[in-house]
Amino acid sequence: MVPPKDTLLSIKNLRTYFNVKEGLAKAVDGVSYNINNGETLGLVGESGCGKTVSALSILKLLDIPPAEFHSGQILFKDQDLLQMTEQELNSIRGRLISMIFQEPMTSLNPVLSIGFQIDEVMINHLSINAKEARDRTIELLNMVGIPLPQKRAKEYPHQLSGGMRQRIMIALAVACDPELLIADEPTTALDVTIQAQILDIMLSLQETFNTSILLITHDLGVIAETADRVAVMYAGKIVEEADVKTIFQNPLHPYTRGLLNSVPKINKIDSANRLHEIPGMVPNLCYLPEGCSFFNRCPVRKKICQSGKPKLLNIENNHNVRCWIVQDSV
Amino acid sequence: MSEELLEIKNLKKFFPVKSGFFFKAKDHVHAVDGVSLSVKPGHTLGLVGESGCGKTTTGKTILKLIEPTDGQIFFQGENITGYTRPKMKKVRRQMQMIFQDPFSSLNPRHTIGSILASPLEIHGLADDKNMEDKITGLLKKVGLSSEAMRRYPHEFSGGQRQRIGIARALALYPELIIADEPVSALDVSIQAQIINLMKDLQEELGLAYIIIAHDLSIISHISDEVAVMYLGKIVEKALSADFYAEPLHPYSKALISAVPVPDPEFKKKRVILKGDVPSPINPPSGCRFHPRCPYRFEPCDKQEPSLKPIGKENRFVACHLKF
CB < 8 Å from B in window 263-282 of A: 263-267, 269-271, 274-279, 281-282
Query: Chain B interface, mutation test: which of A44, A52, A188, A192, most B Cβ atoms within 10 Å?
Result: A192
Mean of the per-residue pLDDT values for chain A?
86
CB B53 within 8 A of CB B24: no
CB A21 within 8 A of CB A78: no
- Across the range A25-30, mean pLDDT stands at 87
Closest-approach residue (CA) in chain A for B187: A46
Kindly determine whether residue B221 and residue A271, on different chains, have CB atoms separated by under 8 Å. yes
pLDDT higher than threshold 60 for residue A27? yes
Query: Chain A interface, mutation test: which of B263, B265, B293, most A Cβ atoms within 10 Å?
Result: B263
Kindly determine whether residue B272 and residue A200, on different chains, have CB atoms separated by under 8 Å. yes
Pairing of strands A67-76, A40-44: unpaired
Backbone angles phi, psi at A312, to 5 degrees: -80, 110
Kindly determine whether residue B220 and residue A266, on different chains, have CB atoms separated by under 8 Å. yes
Q: What is the pLDDT of residue A194?
A: 80
Name the H helices within B83-238: 85-92, 112-122, 128-141, 158-170, 188-205, 216-222
pLDDT band with cut points at 50, 70 and 90 for residue B1: very low
Q: What is the pLDDT of residue A2?
A: 43
Q: What is the pLDDT of residue A5?
A: 53
- Amino acid identity, position A20: V
Residues B254-269: tens digit of each pLDDT: 888 888 888 888 766 7
Give the list of residues 6+ apart from residue A241 with CB closer than 8 angstroms, or none.
A33, A229, A230, A231, A232, A312, A318, A319, A320
Measured in angstroms, the CA of B79 and the nearest CA of chain A are apart by 33
**pTM score of the predicted model:** 0.85
d(CA A17, CA A68): 5
Q: What is the pLDDT of residue B155?
A: 87
Q: What is the DSSP string of A270-285?
A: -TTSPPP---S-PPPT
Backbone angles phi, psi at B161, to 5 degrees: -65, -35
Measured in angstroms, the CA of A132 and the nearest CA of chain B are apart by 28
Between B191, B261, B265, which is nearest A221 by CB? B261
Count of CA atoms in the C-beta half-sphere (13 A) of A174: 26
pLDDT higher than threshold 80 for residue B4? yes
CB < 8 Å from B in window 225-254 of A: 225, 244-245, 248-249
Q: What is the pLDDT of residue A77?
A: 86
CB A158: neighbour CB atoms within 10 A?
10
Q: What is the pLDDT of residue A256?
A: 92
d(CA B132, CA B139): 11
Mean of the per-residue pLDDT values for chain B?
88
Kindly determine whether residue B276 and residue A269, on different chains, have CB atoms separated by under 8 Å. no
pLDDT band with cut points at 50, 70 and 90 for residue B270: confident
Measured in angstroms, the CA of A248 and the nearest CA of chain B are apart by 6
Kindly determine whether residue A163 and residue B276, on different chains, have CB atoms separated by under 8 Å. yes
Q: Which residue has the higher pLDDT, A161 or B97?
A: B97
Q: What is the pLDDT of residue A315?
A: 86
d(CA B215, CA B184): 8
Q: What is the pLDDT of residue A1?
A: 42
Closest-approach residue (CA) in chain A for B198: A274
Q: What is the pLDDT of residue B5?
A: 93
Rg (CA), chain A: 21
Please list, residue by residue across A68-94, b when 16 or more beta carbons sit within 10 angstroms of its beta carbon and e when fewer do: ebeebebbbeeeebbebeeeeeeebbb
Q: What is the DSSP letter of B190?
A: H
Q: In A, which residues are within 8 Å of B257 by CB distance?
A: 196
Q: What is the pLDDT of residue A325?
A: 85
Query: Chain B interface, mutation test: which of A148, A190, A191, most B Cβ atoms within 10 Å?
Result: A191
d(CA A191, CA A186): 12
- Across the range B59-63, mean pLDDT stands at 91
pLDDT higher than threshold 50 for residue B293? yes
Kindly determine whether residue A271 and residue B273, on different chains, have CB atoms separated by under 8 Å. no
Residues A98-128: tens digit of each pLDDT: 998 887 778 888 999 999 999 998 998 888 8
Helix (H, G, I), strand (E, B) or coil at A151: helix
- Across the range B45-57, mean pLDDT stands at 88
Size of interface A-B (CB pairs under 8 A): 133
Residues B116-172: tens digit of each pLDDT: 999 999 888 888 888 999 999 999 989 888 888 999 998 888 888 999 999 999 999
Measured in angstroms, the CA of A78 and the nearest CA of chain B are apart by 32
pLDDT higher than threshold 70 for residue B7? yes
Beta bridge partners of B9: B72
Residue A138: Cβ-neighbour burial (10 angstroms; 0-12, 13-18, 19+): middle
Residues A137-183: tens digit of each pLDDT: 998 888 887 878 888 889 998 888 777 888 888 888 888 888 999 99
Q: What is the DSSP string of B18-44?
A: EETTTTEEEEEEEEEEEEEEEE-TT-E
- Measured distance between the N- and C-terminal CA atoms of chain A, rounded to whole angstroms: 27
Q: In B, which residues are within 8 Å of A192 by CB distance?
A: 50, 214, 216, 255, 258-259
- Across the range B180-209, mean pLDDT stands at 89
Measured in angstroms, the CA of B197 and the nearest CA of chain A are apart by 10
Please list, residue by residue across A159-175, b when 16 or more beta carbons sit within 10 angstroms of its beta carbon and e when fewer do: ebbbbbbbbbbbbbbbb
Residues A202-259: tens digit of each pLDDT: 888 888 888 999 999 988 889 998 899 999 999 889 999 999 999 999 999 999 999 8
Between A193, A277, A282, which is nearest B258 by CB? A193
